[in-house]
Structure 1
Amino acid sequence: MNQLQPPDEFPFPFSPYDIQKDFMRNLFLTLEKEQLGIFESPTGTGKSLSLICGALTWLRAHNEHHKAELMRKVQGNENVIDDDDGSDWFTAATKRREEQEQLRRYQQELQVLEKQEQRMQALKERQQVIKRSKVKKIDDEFEELFRDLQEVRENVRRELSSTGGGEMLSPDELMLLLDDYDSDEEEGSKYENEEEDDGCLKIYYCSRTHSQLSQFIREVQKTIFGDDVRVISLASRQNLCVNEVIKKLGNMTLINEKCLDLQRGKKSQATKCESNGTTSKKKCTSSGCPYFQQSAVKNLADQLLLEVQDMEQMVVLGSKIKSCPYYGARYAIKDAQLVVLPYNTLLHKGTREACGIKLKGNVVIVDEAHNLLETISNVHSVIVSHRQLCGAHAQLSQYSRRYETRLSPRNLLHIRQILFFINALIKLLSGGSKAANSLGSNAFSSPSTSSNASQSQIFTVSKFLCDTLTDNLNLFKLVQYIEKSKIAHKLHSFSQHFEGSVGIHHEQKPESSMKSSTSSFLAKMASQKPVQRKAKENVQPAVSEVKKIHEPEAEEEEILLGSPLMQITEFLRALLHCTEDGRVVVNVGSTHRKSSVKYLLLNPASHFHDVVSQCRSVIVAGGTMRPVSEFREQLFLSAGADPSRVHEFSCGHVVPGEQIMPIALTKGPTNVTLDFTYQHRGDPKMLDELGRVLVNTCTVVPGGVVCFLPSYDYEQRVYSHFTNSGVISRLSAKKRVFREPRKSNELDSVLSDYAKTIHLTASNATGITGSLLFSVVGGKMSEGINFSDNLGRCVVMVGLPFPNTHSPELKEKMEFLNKYLPRTDGKPAGSVFYENLCFKAVNQSIGRAIRHRNDYASILLLDHRYCRLSSIQALPEWISRHVHQCVKFGQAFGFLRKFFSDKKAMTAM
């Protein structure tokens, strides 16, 4: 197939900048050549629109060209088959058969494309007819006519067997029982050999948050592609559910499990029996979510394909036609051309497959990809708390005892294996195992030094299994059993049906033996008899998961949200990965609530391998992608990609150089060297000098000033010192002071007041010239918040936010990189990774200010280490080439004063 060339003009909503044209051309060619692209476009340069117009222009051109090529090949092969080239009969017959098979494939692919086009055209025509005639939509009233025969057969068998002795189970309780599990291989996949139509070529667009995805959808609606490209937005049940009963649960875990419970109830069709002497009449009554009717959901899916809609519009439409937007979107994936979804849905294989996302031959675009490696690691790192382990053990033990006579021997065997594994982890965290005994000599910290200290140790997967005596378990079959039997969901329903296995009780004395208290807890739970709830009793609302910040030692009773066995299943699944790719981190705290076991993924490329190998092309894009080598080496090449497939593109900023003023400052107003290393940043002299810098800066900078500090603890220390020393009073004379809240629900209020103060003080003569906001690097305001125009005329970066070098997880990660990756510029890969963590956080924070072409701002980098060449080169290129290195504060102050006086003069003209 001939390679397509990018068009001279892209269908942009307005006249594009040159850098946007270059971005779209490079994107077009990368997709056409089936390459892996690393694209960097600074915030404010229209990256989202460039991605939309470049990718969808290629998709439209590729589809047209591909269809024309198929038609040409079909016609050409038909003519070739009719020709006789004079070869001997055997060669001719073989060649003819190959050509016929090839022709059949071409014809089949062309037929699928034409059929899909005809279907979409018919849907559009039907929609137009409905709009013109103003005829109300006719709902399909057909109910599902099929019944799960296996479920019914098992329910009948269990009812009959229960009459022979023991307690008669209610219809609701019958649904809690596990199906017979004859073997792990018996069922297999019934559809393995069936060929499925994968639909059309798709572009999967991923971003970090639902709000970013909604913004992307709105950008698509602004372009010409909003009229003819089929776009579907995927989101969580929490965002798309229209069932008010489920939405009231609030917690995502409870929403997911309640939704699945309702579906299982509908599928099983609870049986109601009426006995009359020797005869028995059975009446099946349908249950389930009223919004999950298959015909209505498919109808909603068709409507979603006809018009580009964001999540809010999908919810409105679903509520209007009484259909589920969550499942409507999943039904529509097959026919969609652009699928918009969150990171986690694509990166987690289980979630990806459950949603019906197929990578083979399609395109993946990951936006806001600057933290992609960390995101992959976090998605596949699993932590299980001591409380979750105890809760799962108690629930599963009671479940096993109650239904012991009704469960098959193989079910009981697997349940006991799960209990054995859970009990091994409880012993590990309680000091009763071989691995726990080794913590005393090999732990990273000792509890004897402080009452709040914890012990941590990292194990390889094989050593962890060996030391916990669980290496004799077949973890693969155990995970397979949990998935096929759906025991985690059954256990959740069981815990809702019976009280007594949900609560986790108080810890009496933190200093008491964890081993003895755990044993007594399990003994107490084992002795309890399940008490059935009243039939009409509602599920208790979830308690708040957020504890008071100022009461970290409060040992309140915790209610387990959902089935804790689900988290343990994820931990089991993580242990199945290559042993070299991960480690197990055991944290034994001074109290139960502080103890946990965690699977730590060290090699994110292992989980990105399928994306790289199966997709036609993968694009990772962001405002700051430096260092690019990290994505090239640790993501693409480590995932098995050929180096020739990787294409890198970086463009400048649309903001001219004279509109930014980046300054790297070595000394403060009294010639104190600005050294905010961990050893010196708490020095009162250093804090006093920082106060002087901020006071002087606020006198010349109009509007908003955002000051980023390395951590919440250091922000608290700085603010307390400034309050006691009078700096806050001096700052308040010029700007109203705000602080980043620790609680997410307070963020909007703080930002609103911050912006309101800036707007109100811009036109009065009170002496206050705006706002000062103390923020935290890596916090809620360092990403995704736009401080454009007067909201951010200066960004102050205090120190270099290097992560804690004493973190055992960080040490293990660095050792892993040193072992498996080559040195970069003579430095070990682990050291390079450590520095990159710091500067990626810096670049994200300082990028909050410049948001569009006419914006301007200053950037003040406070630390003598910023004047090093390596530090300057680690900054984005559009900033690094304009950095002013100032040893004396007077020089820096002069630059700031002139910069803002010039901007004020230009504004007045």
Structure 2
Amino acid sequence: MVVLGSREQLCIHDQVSQLHGKTQTNACHALCKKRTKRYCAHFSRVTEFVKNNSSLGDDPIDIEDLVNLGRSSGPCPYYLSRELHKAVDILFAPYNYLIDRGNRKSLSIDWNDSILIFDEAHNLEGLCADAASFDLPSGLLTACISEAKNCIDLSITRRDMSSDESCNPDNFAILRALLLKLEKRIAEVPIESRELGFTKAGPYMYELLAELNITQETATMLMNIIDKACVLLEEDGNTSESGGLNKANGFVCKLETMGDILRLIFRDNSTAHAQYYRLHVQEVEASAKDAFRGKTSRTLSWWCFNPGIAMEEFSRLGVGSIILTSGTLSPLDSFAEELKLEFPVRLENPHVISGSHIWAGVAPVGPSGYSFNSSYRNRGSVEYKLELGNAIVNFARIVPDGLLVFFPSYYLMEQCIDCWKTNGQKKLTNSNTVWERMCKFKSPVVEPRQASLFSLAIEDYTTKLKEATTSGAIFFAVCRGKVSEGLDFADHAGRAVVITGLPFAAMTEPKVRLKREYLDQQAHPKKINSNGLTGEEWYSQQASRAVNQAVGRVIRHQHDYGAIILCDERFTYSNRQSQISLWIQPHLKCYSKFGDVVYTLTRFFRDGGTRGPTKLELARKDYQEDLKVSESHLLGKFHLNKTLVHQATPIYPAFSLETASSVRQIKQEKDSGKLREIVPANRSHLTPDKHLLDSSVICSSDLNLRKRTLILSSNQNIDGLDGDTGGLIAPCSSKKPSLLITGPNQSNHYEKFEKQLKNLVKSEHLQVTETVGTQIPQESVEVLVGDESFAQKKSLANKNWEHLQKDVVFQNVPHNDEKKGSAFLSQVREKLNDAEYKEFVNFMKALKSKTMKIGHVLQSIARLFSFPDRISLLHGYHIFDYNVFVTVIYLPFLLVML
């Protein structure tokens, strides 16, 4: 096995290694000619070294190994890899070594029955199309004309000084004249609309060049002239006055690009491939360096819209199998259609993690109920940006360690950050900006546009992850950017990823517009009986693949866990969800209220990404021992260019200690209380706009909220549950068991309850006395909106309870039973939808028919009532006291409903 690399990676020549690109390639070729005085000593040792080390290649050899061999033993690492690849069984190489025709031919590989494996193949479609396309801007054409003029002067000088006639200046003069005509012809192309440009079908390229007398017959001669010009210019550019290589001269021959363009157009001496192309001339504002030529600049483009051209060549070469691997290839049908290969064997695997290690949800609205929609029409709104910022503040507080936030574009990311730093230019006294509130919880890092600054951003993120002053770091990045494509944010480097919108390409961008038109034309004759990919389908799938690629940065191994948060209402649509990665779809839920997102996300991270007990049982373990954090569970390797280090998430004191004390209190207390309450799924109270409440959102009918359910026997009491609510939101990745506790007398209690119910149903006159005067324990979830907490620390349950103390005291008032029961049922009918009310009725019928025990009925009712607008149904009637339950709900239900 051997790895192929470029000269920039492998060259060890003192001078050539200082050069780059095609300049380095040509300098290497010059030094490898045996008759030159500066013959490369490293190149001459390759053959002998391979001969004396016949076992070389039996063990894997990577780029570092090749360079070390070259420095220690002398052979050129670049040409050594070229010799070894002829004999090894497995060869690793970059995409362009296989896709680019020139690179592929230089490998001299026997392709017959070979197996090609393309990893991260979601980029293959674009790479194949780009490799078969070109752009010729006016600046490049001008540079080629200038180089042709230099060739004329150099060839005349050489002929006069040394009688060297190998380079004829007349040929270079012809080349320059043709380039001048091409420049003039492009400038004469009529462009009526700068936005639309000038577009023709692919074969029009041959008509345009024929006007310049460039045809299949003359193109070969022209390409030979260009090759000689490149050699002449590079020899002059790389040679100093002393005769050595000029290391300081970074000369790159532009004419070589023109030669590649001609080879692409006249490939295989055929014009058949032109049907898959579109010719486009675009006019843009001239750059600073081209401003002297006019206010505008033009670019001639020949774009290939059939990436299958490159893949079909492998079939002609006799390749046995082609394997594409990636986590974001789906939908596979359209991907295969694009590449023009059938792929009869297809496999979509689930993720290696269990369902308890992933939280995936759609948040269509923000903390104040404003809809999330990053479409072009909405993204400029200050309200949208501030709502998104407030949501991210909540996520930064809940999610431990690393948080990744992806935007559709650099422009939108920069606009949002600017808005958060100024609160949308709103002057608010004594109020922190959204950005300042984010920084309280996590240190921010922003992905730079410049590729040269990216490594510094990664180092900054790594450093901030370890800062003790915050709960981690937040990385603002862009879909299709460097962060989203290749990095591994495992374990604490990425506990959650937030997608702020769908990264659609600009619809007016010429290449995107023409690609859609091309696909629509190709699909039109197939629409009746085929699955031809339309332009709209391709456009939508490209955005979804970018989302899937960004989402894949987290949850990187079997023991990892994390959250995926989709903040755009368009993710609630079924067609959009169907394009999400298959491994995410079973776990994806839609939450109509932001409070539900906060609650369930908080519970997920409090459980450390693991699911609590699945059945009712009294835990008799040492809870203090359970609260210890397993080092093997918390520590993991970071994989950000091998720069991230181990880091354990600290246990948040307000959470772990209070929980432990509460549990110990439960264990120590003796029989002293009645069944109190099941904690509602959500205690957050939002005030969304009315039009948002009326809008229809496709949501899961059963939000599987992992509620902390406390089921206590009548002789148990809970103390400490009404503590500091900050611990609920505080980041903590320790594994904490859910508290599902039932007392040892629970079964007898239910039997006694059912017996009482039976007697009460038979009785014609009920005497029930119940005085209400005990505080209900509660917990709340804080949802930050603006700079204030809208969590009701003195929850709505307290207010209802105080009202109940004044007005709802049952003291021997049997004649009011039916009236009170009817009022309660009316409220139930009003609060529940039709399906939920039918479910409620079925619970009561099941209780009457004894097919369901009272404990299960109470839990089921709690699930239906555990939403902010229904809490009054739980607390206002204190239904978990069985006497009140029978008096106010069960018997009136029999009288009214049955």
Asked if TM exceeds 0.5, the reply is yes
CA distance in 2, matches of 1:818, 1:478: 34
CA distance in 1, matches of 2:213, 2:116: 40
CA distance in 2, matches of 1:609, 1:424: 35
User: Which residue matches 1:610?
Assistant: 313
1:393-419 deviation line (CA, Å, top 9, x unaligned): 222233235436678799667545533
Q: 1:907 aligns with which of 719, 735, 739?
A: 735
CA distance in 2, matches of 1:488, 1:794: 55
Q: 1:841 aligns with which of 540, 546, 552?
A: 546
Report the Cα offset of residue 305 of structure 1. Answer: 1.6
Contact 1:261 1:493 in 2 (8 A): no
CA distance in 2, matches of 1:480, 1:648: 47
User: Which residue matches 1:422?
Assistant: 179
Q: 2:5 aligns with which of 235, 242, 249?
A: 235
Amino acid at match of 1:808: P
Alignment of 1:177-188 (within 5 A): none
User: Are residues 255 and 402 of structure 1, via their aligned partners in 2, closer, same or farther at CA, if it must alter by over 3 Å?
Assistant: closer
Q: Say if 2:128 is the partner of 1:376.
A: yes
CA distance in 2, matches of 1:670, 1:848: 29
CA distance in 1, matches of 2:53, 2:131: 29
Contact 1:399 1:494 in 2 (8 A): no
Contact 1:461 1:575 in 2 (8 A): no
Alignment of 1:242-257 (within 5 A): 242-249=12-19, 251-257=20-26
Alignment partner of 2:98: what SS?
Answer: helix
Alignment partner of 1:598: what SS?
Answer: strand
User: Are residues 467 and 380 of structure 1, via their aligned partners in 2, closer, same or farther at CA, if it must alter by over 3 Å?
Assistant: closer
Alignment of 1:84-99 (within 5 A): none
Report the Cα offset of residue 297 of structure 1. Answer: 5.7
Higher RCO, 1 vs 2 (CA within 8 Å, ≥6 residues apart): 1
CA distance in 1, matches of 2:103, 2:243: 33
CA distance in 2, matches of 1:394, 1:871: 52
Alignment of 1:426-825 (within 5 A): 426-429=183-186, 431=187, 433=188, 435=189, 438-439=190-191, 441=192, 443-444=194-195, 456-467=197-208, 470=211, 472-475=213-216, 477-479=218-220, 482=223, 486-496=227-237, 534-536=241-243, 539=246, 541=248, 561-577=251-267, 578-591=273-286, 593=290, 595-613=298-316, 614-637=318-341, 643=342, 646-725=344-423, 726-761=433-468, 766=469, 768-821=470-523, 822-823=526-527
Amino acid at match of 1:797: I
Report the Cα offset of residue 866 of structure 1. Answer: 0.2
Contact 2:200 2:280 in 1 (8 A): yes
Structure 1: segments with no counterpart, 5+ residues: 1-230, 271-284, 446-455, 499-532, 544-560, 638-642
User: Are residues 878 and 358 of structure 1, via their aligned partners in 2, closer, same or farther at CA, if it must alter by over 3 Å?
Assistant: same
User: Are residues 471 and 322 of structure 1, via their aligned partners in 2, closer, same or farther at CA, if it must alter by over 3 Å?
Assistant: same
User: Which residue matches 2:680?
Assistant: none
CA distance in 2, matches of 1:841, 1:797: 10
CA distance in 2, matches of 1:662, 1:717: 27
Which stretch shows the higher mean deviation, 699-708 or 750-759?
750-759
CA distance in 1, matches of 2:54, 2:480: 41
CA distance in 1, matches of 2:736, 2:26: 60
CA distance in 2, matches of 1:772, 1:631: 34
CA distance in 1, matches of 2:52, 2:445: 46
TM-score with structure 2 setting the length: 0.61
User: Are residues 663 and 480 of structure 1, via their aligned partners in 2, closer, same or farther at CA, if it must alter by over 3 Å?
Assistant: farther
Alignment partner of 2:583: what SS?
Answer: helix
Contact 1:395 1:495 in 2 (8 A): no
Alignment partner of 2:564: what SS?
Answer: strand
Alignment partner of 2:302: what SS?
Answer: strand
User: Are residues 736 and 490 of structure 1, via their aligned partners in 2, closer, same or farther at CA, if it must alter by over 3 Å?
Assistant: same
Q: 2:537 aligns with which of 832, 854, 877?
A: 832
Structure 2: segments with no counterpart, 5+ residues: 268-272, 291-296, 424-432, 609-731, 738-898
Report the Cα offset of residue 424 of structure 1. Answer: 2.8
Q: Say if 2:578 is the partner of 1:873.
A: yes
Alignment of 1:279-318 (within 5 A): 285=37, 287-288=39-40, 290-296=42-48, 298-299=50-51, 302=54, 304-318=56-70
CA distance in 1, matches of 2:52, 2:249: 31
TM-score with structure 1 setting the length: 0.61
User: Are residues 311 and 470 of structure 1, via their aligned partners in 2, closer, same or farther at CA, if it must alter by over 3 Å?
Assistant: farther
Contact 1:304 1:329 in 2 (8 A): no
User: Which residue matches 2:788?
Assistant: none
Alignment partner of 2:85: what SS?
Answer: helix
CA distance in 2, matches of 1:627, 1:892: 28
CA distance in 2, matches of 1:777, 1:319: 41
Report the Cα offset of residue 780 of structure 1. Answer: 1.1
Alignment partner of 2:466: what SS?
Answer: helix
Amino acid at match of 1:862: C
CA distance in 2, matches of 1:332, 1:537: 31
Contact 1:674 1:686 in 2 (8 A): yes
Report the Cα offset of residue 569 of structure 1. Answer: 1.1
CA distance in 1, matches of 2:141, 2:236: 15
Alignment partner of 1:618: what SS?
Answer: strand
Alignment of 1:29-428 (within 5 A): 231-249=1-19, 251-263=20-32, 266-267=33-34, 269-270=35-36, 285=37, 287-288=39-40, 290-296=42-48, 298-299=50-51, 302=54, 304-403=56-155, 415-428=172-185
CA distance in 2, matches of 1:240, 1:805: 42
Alignment partner of 2:116: what SS?
Answer: strand
Alignment partner of 1:738: what SS?
Answer: strand
Report the Cα offset of residue 459 of structure 1. Answer: 3.2
CA distance in 2, matches of 1:288, 1:385: 37
Q: Say if 2:585 is the partner of 1:890.
A: no
Contact 1:581 1:603 in 2 (8 A): yes
User: Are residues 411 and 402 of structure 1, via their aligned partners in 2, closer, same or farther at CA, if it must alter by over 3 Å?
Assistant: closer
Number of equivalences: 583
Alignment partner of 1:366: what SS?
Answer: strand
Contact 2:350 2:582 in 1 (8 A): yes
